[in-house]
Structure 1
Amino acid sequence: MKRPAGIPNSIFQGIRHFLKYKKHIYAAPLFFLTAAGCIILIAVLVYNRFFSVSGEAVQMDLDQSSYDFSDTVIVIDPGHGGKDPGATSASGVTEDVIVFSVAQSLKEALEDAGAQVILTRSEDEFASLDQRKVDGDLFISLHSDAMDDPAVSGFTTYYTHPEQKAFAESINHALDRRSYFHNRGVHSMNYQVTWQLDYPAVLVELGYLSNAVDDMVLNKTRYQNMMVKGIVEGIDDYLN
């Protein structure tokens, strides 16, 4: 180890002695600091790759795909709304805001594919469960739940009647191709918004806002657009 110019020899020798004979003092902290730095760097790179990129690129990818939903009436039901905000996320954003954002993007994508789209509520409107009974060809109710256990994560697809199961499976399978979350599967449940309809209808829990990771990701435009693309692909798989 050569002494750099400008550093007194006594100081240089002291540093050299410390580095050579005191490794037990600095080696472990240096290792953990280096490992922590690498973890932070990887986390930043992953965040920038998946969550910080503008949703514009994803939307362009969606527009480039060829879908034809002409003569198909699709009802999109953004859960809750108005006086009923639904679940509150760990970051303070309510369920009704998140699902309406997804619903608006989904509406635009489906209309671009030629579908007639009906929203069961406007942005700040409350619609009762009875009011959500709307005639159509396909029905999709969007939600993002919260649980007492913050460890619960993932997306889930529900249906009620046996004739709705195939549609639910198509939506679930397509979302599984797009989502970062654990696929909690397809389940039969007597939710009013699906059992009161006699045509293909599903309720999708896009994630769990009580989970910090689900909350962060669901609030990202890019991820919302990925879910939109998954739902559009699921519709296309079912119809074709």
Structure 2
Amino acid sequence: MDSIKKGFKKLLDAAGYFLKYKKHLYIKPLFFIIIALIIVLASAYIYKNVLHEPEDLITMDFSNDDVEEEMDYDFSGTTIALDPGHGGDDPGAPSKYGEDEDHVVYSIASELEQELTDAGAKVIMTRGKDETVSLDGRKVEADLFISLHSDAFDDPAISGFTTYYTYPNQEEFGQHLNAALDKRSLLYNRGNQVMEYQVVWQLDYPGVLIELGYLSNEFDDYILNQEDYQGEMVTAIMEGIHSYLNR
């Protein structure tokens, strides 16, 4: 036992001597090792928390705790047209993480159709799941019209949701939908804007086209393909309709 203690003491003494008198041998290598470690840890943090790695986004909670709980609606006597953009031969904007635009907006429209029907509204869907319908063919008679889209830009940095209307009698409906979406969307609010999209300008009653996000943007694309987030958008649109009808 004494020999072990003596050997250990000699080892500690030798280590202490080396650290004290041989700094020129290890200071530079140690410095570069520490710098390399800092770079690796910083790169890992940025990749995980800033670049929105899909595996990390899966854990995101899309619900908005600041928004009041869902309420019961009564839309009896109201006819609402839902227009899922594109479809059939026209898939719309492509997706990197899931479904293309035509399927994303149809998924949201289908859930919205069920919610509206449960609330007593008569719902007209302008197309089926894989159906090709012309812009002229999307003109239907209703009390309210909502066209759903998730577009793309050449610049992948562009993100956010937008509501569009054409005529003055459509502006207020767009404002109510925009405000409701603003409470639940995780994306930048690009506002309620005038735009002459055919599905809206060919109507003589309140109609709005909603760009829910841009599939050319990595973050927008990912969340718009998540079922929970799609549900949040359905809830927001329901709230916007309720707000408009009860203004």
What TM-score, normalized by structure 2, do the two folds share?
Answer: 0.80
Verify: 1:227 aligned to 2:233, yes or no. yes
Flag the structure with larger Rg: 2
Mapped partners of 1:48, 1:81: distance in 2: 27
Mapped partners of 1:41, 1:207: distance in 2: 23
Aligned residues: 226
Letter in 2 for 1:139: F
Q: 1:127 to 1:137 in 2, by over 3 A?
A: same
Q: Which residue of 1 aligns with 2:60?
A: 50
Verify: 1:184 aligned to 2:184, yes or no. no
SS at match of 1:50: coil
| Aligned CA-pair RMSD | 3.1
Overall identity of the aligned pairs, in %: 50
Verify: 1:117 aligned to 2:123, yes or no. yes
Query: What is the aligned counterpart of 1:34 among 41, 51, 55?
Result: 41
Q: 1:208 to 1:40 in 2, by over 3 A?
A: closer
Q: 1:101 to 1:33 in 2, by over 3 A?
A: same
Unaligned runs of 5+ in 2: 1-7
Letter in 2 for 1:118: I
SS at match of 1:141: strand
Q: Which residue of 1 aligns with 2:171?
A: 165
Mapped partners of 1:230, 1:199: distance in 2: 21
Query: What is the aligned counterpart of 2:159 among 141, 153, 171?
Result: 153
Q: Which residue of 1 aligns with 2:3?
A: none
Q: Which moved more, 1:70-79 or 1:105-114?
A: 105-114
- Which structure 2 residues correspond to residues 1-240 of structure 1 after superposition, within 5 A? 9=11, 13=15, 17=19, 21=27, 23-39=30-46, 47-50=57-60, 64-91=70-97, 93-240=99-246
What TM-score, normalized by structure 1, do the two folds share?
Answer: 0.82
User: 1:136: Cα distance to partner?
Assistant: 0.9
Is the Cα–Cα contact under 8 Å of residues 98 and 225 in structure 2 kept in the other structure?
no
Q: Which residue of 1 aligns with 2:4?
A: none
Q: Which residue of 2 aligns with 1:3?
A: none
Could you list the per-position Cα deviations for residues 116-143 of structure 1 after superposition, in whole angstroms to 9, with x for gaps in the alignment?
Answer: 1111111011111111111111100001
Unaligned runs of 5+ in 1: 1-5
User: 1:23: Cα distance to partner?
Assistant: 3.9
Is the Cα–Cα contact under 8 Å of residues 86 and 92 in structure 2 kept in the other structure?
yes
Mapped partners of 1:33, 1:89: distance in 2: 31
User: 1:92: Cα distance to partner?
Assistant: 6.6
Mapped partners of 1:166, 1:235: distance in 2: 11
Is the Cα–Cα contact under 8 Å of residues 63 and 109 in structure 1 kept in the other structure?
no
Mapped partners of 2:45, 2:152: distance in 1: 33
Is the Cα–Cα contact under 8 Å of residues 62 and 229 in structure 1 kept in the other structure?
no
Could you list the per-position Cα deviations for residues 33-54 of structure 1 after superposition, in whole angstroms to 9, with x for gaps in the alignment?
Answer: 3344555665689624426x7x
Letter in 2 for 1:34: L
Is the Cα–Cα contact under 8 Å of residues 76 and 117 in structure 1 kept in the other structure?
yes
Q: 1:162 to 1:64 in 2, by over 3 A?
A: closer
Q: 1:67 to 1:86 in 2, by over 3 A?
A: same
Q: 1:72 to 1:186 in 2, by over 3 A?
A: same
Could you list the per-position Cα deviations for residues 30-76 of structure 1 after superposition, in whole angstroms to 9, with x for gaps in the alignment?
Answer: 2233344555665689624426x7xxx89xx9995221111111110
